[in-house]
């Protein structure tokens, strides 16, 4: 089956925030047809690799099928807790948008369902 | 079936100051929740209270009440807030002062206390409560002298009690954001507090509401689909006594309420999805069913919950020194190289002066080169769509208050603007004096004849 590479931004949306010493990213498939792609492609290992520049702890993934979503906990990703951090993004507000930059393989027959390819 | 409307007019201290007024005036509403306390806000309030014993609460809240009090009374709208901070009595006194200014009598204001543990810490630690750090497991004892605030998160029950005693406004210190939505449901519907599914439903309604416009189109990934974000409507939950509810916003406002905008907010600051722990319940987010119910309406049902835990969360803060940040703007050619050189010069000159910041105590971020998300592959970004930009907005005006008002419009963009906005930690921009040069001539006597010096003694 032919597949094509797209950014996650083409098939999913996301939100992130701080969670203790790290951040969380909720990643939601735009359509039910795309949820299996998230399950298959967006693994703990790949997210850790994608965010290797600033996630110093482990990455945990939880499935939230009723919302066609995945929840990721990025441990030790803020350079210290909320107020001690000297980073410009001390709350991990940008981590969700950052995950949407990841590239994934999507079957060609699903390309027609992509609503925005920016 | 009995239905009540609960809105959120303020997601954090620093949020848009017009939002709660527009929420009140824009349509039907029974309860307005207002959240002012982030994790560290109470430690800021402690510093304010140490300087002035009459301070230590959210002053923006009193400004709001002063503005709308006659309308609140006329329409019977009740307001629930954690604006009391560390000094809810002083906050109440200011609200009573506002009522007297309006010539309003019969206003009942509730105060919820007991969350503040600061003065009880030695006693608590002596009796074996180590208050270990939930992340690192370190005990509090070595830092106890530096603690500047310690507050337990309270649940819905004390808020319900205030409502039962006829409070029109309820002032809390540390209370869960979700309790501000659950409490009116318990009070209005007479819910049994051991019916965990209902407690979870009210709690999840509260989670959706607690960040204001983050469920109505603010901070939404597909921001280009959101109409009139500048005029975003703050959320309203139509809660029914069977535990189902509808998320919506007032007609005529901007923003967007869809299954997608609500789902993003459900996952905000989420840990284990089936174990969302509050003082009231353990809510299961994997049970939530969202259904499109027409324009800007989403039905929420199917929520399950389990018995609450025997613990309350304590949020303590301790003095850990000081920090500062500064920004320079540097142009190319070789802008990144110049920026890195500047940083190197600063650290070396400080070191020469005997001021050394270790690796853990300094941060160099060259903004515009992927500072927020270092290492994230952005080579697929076109030249005109870089991974990151710095927006710098500035104003000038003869009136202090206009410049100050401008400063209040930046932080709200984090929750009510497009997604991926950050870097607001420096607080509201403070108006600085503009010193302008204006050469002119005046007759000497026009000045000298009016000089008058007085010295007074108290």
| Residue B2, pLDDT score | 96
Instruction: Report the half-sphere exposure of B284 (CA within 13 A, side-chain side).
Output: 15
At A56, list the tokens. Answer: 């110093």
The answer to whether the Cβ–Cβ distance between B286 and A66 falls below 8 Å is yes
At B332, list the tokens. Answer: 């190319």
Residues B308 and B341 in one domain: no
Residues 6 or more apart from B389 whose CB is under 8 A from it?
Answer: B368
Closest CA to A17 of B292, B301, B207: B207
Rounded CA gap, B182 and B171, in Å?
15
What is the mean predicted confidence (pLDDT) over B60-88?
Answer: 97
- B289 forms beta bridges with B301
Nearest to B272 among A13, A52, A62 (CB): A62
How far does Cα B393 stand from its chain's mean position? 22
Nearest to B323 among A19, A86, A96 (CB): A86
The answer to whether the Cβ–Cβ distance between B377 and A50 falls below 8 Å is yes
Tokens 């110093």 belong to which residue? A56
Q: What is the pLDDT of residues B353-399, one digit of tens each?
A: 999 998 888 999 998 888 888 888 766 666 777 878 888 888 888 88
The answer to whether the Cβ–Cβ distance between A88 and B423 falls below 8 Å is yes
What are the b/e assignments for B68-78, b being 16+ CB within 10 Å?
bbeebbeeebb
Rounded CA gap, B426 and B319, in Å?
18
Q: What is the pLDDT of residues B95-109, one digit of tens each?
A: 999 999 999 999 999
Q: What is the pLDDT of residues A8-32, one digit of tens each?
A: 999 999 999 998 779 999 999 999 9
Q: Are A92 and A74 in contact (CB under 8 A)?
A: yes
Q: Domain limits of chain A?
A: 3-105
Q: In chain A, pLDDT over 90 holds for what percent of residues?
A: 81
- pLDDT-derived band at B448, boundaries 50, 70, 90: very low
Query: Which of A9-13, B145-149, B153-157, B186-190 has the least mean pLDDT?
Result: B145-149
User: From the CA of B263, how many Å to the nearest CA of chain A?
Assistant: 7
Residues 6 or more apart from B369 whose CB is under 8 A from it?
Answer: B336, B388
- pLDDT-derived band at B134, boundaries 50, 70, 90: confident
| Residue B385, pLDDT score | 77
Peptide bond into B333 cis (omega under 30): yes
Rounded CA gap, B408 and B395, in Å?
13
Any chain B CB within 8 A of the CB of A5? no
| Residue B442, pLDDT score | 62
pLDDT over threshold 80, residue B167: yes
Residues 6 or more apart from A22 whose CB is under 8 A from it?
Answer: A55, A57, A73, A74, A75, A76, A77, A78, A92
Residues B79 and B199 in one domain: yes
Q: Are B268 and B211 in contact (CB under 8 A)?
A: yes
- Cβ contacts of B268 on chain A, cutoff 8 Å: 15, 17, 26
Strands, E, within B108-168: which ranges?
A: 109-111, 147-152
Q: What is the pLDDT of residues B278-336, one digit of tens each?
A: 999 999 999 999 999 999 999 999 999 999 999 999 888 888 788 888 888 888 888 88
Residues B208 and B351 in one domain: no
The answer to whether the Cβ–Cβ distance between A53 and B373 falls below 8 Å is yes
pLDDT over threshold 50, residue B455: no
- pLDDT-derived band at B458, boundaries 50, 70, 90: very low
Q: Is residue B430 part of a domain?
A: no
The answer to whether the Cβ–Cβ distance between A79 and B363 falls below 8 Å is yes
Residues 6 or more apart from B322 whose CB is under 8 A from it?
Answer: none
Write down which residue in B316, B349, B369 finishes a domain. B316
Number of domains in chain B: 2
Rounded CA gap, B229 and B212, in Å?
13
How far does Cα B145 stand from its chain's mean position? 28
Residues B140 and B270 in one domain: yes
Computed over every residue of chain B, the mean pLDDT equals 90
Of A80 and A58, more confident: A58
- pLDDT-derived band at B449, boundaries 50, 70, 90: low
Strands A69-74 and A22-29, bridge-based pairing: antiparallel
Residues B65 and B151 in one domain: yes
Residues B128 and B182 in one domain: yes
Residues B296 and B355 in one domain: no
Strands B169-171 and B109-111, bridge-based pairing: parallel
- Cβ contacts of A18 on chain B, cutoff 8 Å: 269
Which structural domain, as residue segments, surrounds residue B141? 3-316
Q: Is residue B410 part of a domain?
A: no
Any chain A CB within 8 A of the CB of B267? yes
The values of phi and psi at residue B119, to 5°, are: -75, -10
Q: How far is CA B304 from CA A113, B198, B242, B415, in A?
A: 33, 8, 12, 28
Residues B174 and B198 in one domain: yes
Nearest CA in chain B to A30: B260
Q: In chain B, pLDDT over 70 holds for what percent of residues?
A: 93
- pLDDT-derived band at B234, boundaries 50, 70, 90: very high
ipTM: 0.94
Residues 6 or more apart from B254 whose CB is under 8 A from it?
Answer: B217, B226, B227, B228, B229, B230, B231, B232, B233
The answer to whether the Cβ–Cβ distance between A15 and B219 falls below 8 Å is yes
């Amino acid at each position: 089956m032919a597949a094509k590479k797209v950014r996650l931004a083409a098939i999913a949306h996301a939100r992130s925030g701080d969670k203790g010493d790290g951040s969380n990213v909720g990643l939601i498939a735009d359509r039910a047809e795309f949820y299996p792609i998230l399950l298959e492609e967006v693994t703990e290992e790949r997210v850790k690799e994608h965010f290797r520049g600033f996630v110093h702890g482990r990455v945990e993934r939880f499935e939230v099928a009723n919302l066609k979503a995945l929840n990721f906990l990025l441990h030790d990703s803020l350079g210290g807790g909320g107020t001690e951090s000297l980073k410009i993004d001390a709350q991990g507000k940008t981590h969700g948008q950052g995950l949407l930059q990841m590239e994934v393989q999507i079957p060609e027959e699903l390309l027609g369902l992509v609503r925005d390819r920016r | 079936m009995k239905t009540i409307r609960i809105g959120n007019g303020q997601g954090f201290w620093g949020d848009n100051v017009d939002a709660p007024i527009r929420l009140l005036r824009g349509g039907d509403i029974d309860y307005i929740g207002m959240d002012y306390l982030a994790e560290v806000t109470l430690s800021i309030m402690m510093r304010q209270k140490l300087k002035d014993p009459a301070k230590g609460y959210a002053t923006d809240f009193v400004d709001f009440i002063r503005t709308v009090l006659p309308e609140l009374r006329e329409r019977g709208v009740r307001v629930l807030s954690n604006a009391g901070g560390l000094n809810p009595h002083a906050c109440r006194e200011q609200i009573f002062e506002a009522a007297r200014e309006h010539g309003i009598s019969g206003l009942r204001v509730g105060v919820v206390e007991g969350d503040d543990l600061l003065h009880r810490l030695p006693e608590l630690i002596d009796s074996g409560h180590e208050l270990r750090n939930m992340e690192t497991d370190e005990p509090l004892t070595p830092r106890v002298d530096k603690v500047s605030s310690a507050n337990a998160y309270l649940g819905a029950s004390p808020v319900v009690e205030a409502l039962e005693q006829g409070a029109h406004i309820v002032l809390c210190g540390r209370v869960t954001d979700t309790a501000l939505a659950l409490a009116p449901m318990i009070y209005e519907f007479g819910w049994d507090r051991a019916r965990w599914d209902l407690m979870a439903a009210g709690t999840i309604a509260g989670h959706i509401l607690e960040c204001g416009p983050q469920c109505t189109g603010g901070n939404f990934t597909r921001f280009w689909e959101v109409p009139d974000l500048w005029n975003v409507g703050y959320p309203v939950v139509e809660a029914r006594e069977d535990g189902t509810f509808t998320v919506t916003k007032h007609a005529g406002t901007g923003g967007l309420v869809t299954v997608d905008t609500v789902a993003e907010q459900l996952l905000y600051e989420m840990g284990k999805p089936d174990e969302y722990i509050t003082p009231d319940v353990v809510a299961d987010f994997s049970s939530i069913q969202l259904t499109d119910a027409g324009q800007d309406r989403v039905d929420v049902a199917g929520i399950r919950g389990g018995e609450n835990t025997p613990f309350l969360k304590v949020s303590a803060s301790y003095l850990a020194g000081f920090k500062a940040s500064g920004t320079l703007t540097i142009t190319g050619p070789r802008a990144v190289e110049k920026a890195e050189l500047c940083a190197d010069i600063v650290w070396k000159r400080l070191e020469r002066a005997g001021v050394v910041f270790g690796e853990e105590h300094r941060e160099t971020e060259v903004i515009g080169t992927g500072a927020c998300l270092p290492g994230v592959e952005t080579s697929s970004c076109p030249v005109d769509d870089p991974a990151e930009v710095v927006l710098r907005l500035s104003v000038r005006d003869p009136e202090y208050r206009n410049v100050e008002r401008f400063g209040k419009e930046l932080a709200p963009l984090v929750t009510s603007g497009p997604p991926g906005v950050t870097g607001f930690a420096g607080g509201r921009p403070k108006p600085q004096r503009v010193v302008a040069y204006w050469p002119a001539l005046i007759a000497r006597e026009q000045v000298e004849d009016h000089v008058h010096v007085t010295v007074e003694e108290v």
